[in-house]
Amino acid sequence: MRTSSLSDDEIELLRKYALAASVLPVQVSFGDGMYTAECDNLHLVTEARTLDALRSRVLELVPDLIEANGLNLDPKRVRLHFAFAEDMPARNVAAR
């Protein structure tokens, strides 16, 4: 008789699938003429002069970083969410 609980193999399969379908956040910032991308999940920090070059560099590095960090992720199933972080410029508000 089968119970409603999952077997150890089923739990492991679900855990692997959940990790393999991960969406990883990549924070992008700009300073000193360079764009910087950071992803804590991948231990990634890299720079480039243009956004296109930065995106290409990140995509090139992801499979190697997954392997180097021993992450249980399938590079073909990982999705990246690029978010541009920018500080708001200070405004000089005249006193009324």
Spans of the chain, pLDDT less than 50: 1-2, 20
Bridge partners (DSSP) listed for residue 75: none
Please tell me the class of the 18-84 domain.
alpha beta
Q: Rounded to an integer, what distance in angstroms lies between the CA atom of residue 83 and that of residue 24?
A: 11
- pLDDT given for residue 26 in this prediction: 96
- pLDDT given for residue 12 in this prediction: 67
- pLDDT given for residue 52 in this prediction: 97
- pLDDT given for residue 10 in this prediction: 72
- pLDDT given for residue 22 in this prediction: 80
Please give the distance of CA 68 from its chain centroid, rounded to a whole number: 15
Burial class (CB in 10 A: 0-12, 13-18, 19+), 49: exposed
Alpha helices for 1-96 (secondary structure H): 8-20, 51-68
pTM above 0.75, yes or no: no
Burial class (CB in 10 A: 0-12, 13-18, 19+), 14: exposed
- pLDDT given for residue 73 in this prediction: 87
